[in-house]
Amino acid sequence: MAKAISEDIGVFYHHYPKLAAIVTAQARGKENAMTVAWHTSLSFSPPLYGVSISPKRFTYQLITESREFGVNFLPFEAIELIASVGGSGGRAIDKFHRFNIAKDEPVKTKVPILKVAYVAYECQLVDDREYGDHRWLVGEIVAVHRLKEAFTPEDVIDLDKVNPVLYLGQDIYLTTAKDTVRYLDRKVYGKG
Ligand SMILES: Cc1cc2nc3c(=O)[nH]c(=O)nc-3n(C[C@H](O)[C@H](O)[C@H](O)COP(=O)(O)O)c2cc1C
């Protein structure tokens, strides 16, 4: 089988799937939500989370004003909400009203927390840097909202209870296949 080699990244979906999440923000009493696929954990101590957001997004404007953001992880049953907030602009509409989004109260910030999320982070902005056409925003996690029954006693997502949302690119969504789950002890496998 031949591999094609090029310098052109095209639509940049080769390394997907990614976990889809919803970033929330508020400022001046205006709340908003947008979908992100470019995001990751960065540090345990302090707990840091990074999201890559285009400065064109209304959400980016709200985050720079308030210096806070939320990261919400939704179950597969909520993919239509993920497509809705990722396909609409908060300057033109109130997404919370239009998409009938239920909220939980934040505890350490003023960011909206989505009721449907099985886990959500409240973050305080600690860095905002330009990387090409996106901004890399780093937040310190100051509160975690977690649906207890969605996690095993070891704090791993219980796939009997929650189907996480994966994004493949080109508006294609999928979830995990429970029958592919394997346990491979790294101490055993690390010995070769
Ligand atoms: C599945 C999906 C993933 C997305 N990932 C990102 C992302 O990581 N960063 C980004 O800036 N925009 C991303 N977007 C686009 C924004 O969600 C979209 O432009 C949204 O309308 C911005 O809303 P706002 O202007 O109200 O903030 C994604 C959209 C979808 C549907």
Which token pair is 121?
């982070």
Report pLDDT digits (tens) over 96-143.
Answer: 999 999 999 999 999 999 999 999 999 999 999 999 999 999 999 999
Indicate whether residue 167 lines ligand 1 (CB < 6 A).
Answer: yes
Indicate whether residue 135 lines ligand 1 (CB < 6 A).
Answer: no
38 CA: nearest ligand 1 atom:
8
Report pLDDT digits (tens) over 164-186.
Answer: 999 999 999 999 999 999 999 99
Report pLDDT digits (tens) over 72-101.
Answer: 999 999 999 999 999 999 999 999 999 999
> H or E stretch including 187?
helix 186-189
Length of the chain: 192
For a substitution probing ligand 1, which of 31, 36, 167 has the most ligand atoms within 8 Å of its CB? 36
Mean pLDDT of the chain: 98
35 CA: nearest ligand 1 atom:
17
How much distance in Å is there from the Cα of 34 to the middle of ligand 1? 5
Q: How far is CA 80 from the centre of its chain?
A: 15
Indicate whether residue 38 lines ligand 1 (CB < 6 A).
Answer: yes
For a substitution probing ligand 1, which of 32, 35, 97 has the most ligand atoms within 8 Å of its CB? 35
Indicate whether residue 58 lines ligand 1 (CB < 6 A).
Answer: yes
Percentage of the residues of the chain whose pLDDT score is greater than 70: 100
Which of 122-131's residues contact partners 24+ apart within 8 Å by CB, and which partners?
Answer: 122/68, 122/70, 123/49, 123/68, 123/69, 123/70, 123/71, 124/67, 124/68, 125/63, 125/64, 125/67, 125/68, 125/69, 126/48, 128/63, 128/64, 131/52
How much distance in Å is there from the Cα of 190 to the middle of ligand 1? 39
Q: How many CA atoms lie within 13 A of 65 on its CB side?
A: 15
Helix residue ranges per DSSP H, 58-127: 58-66, 79-85, 95-98
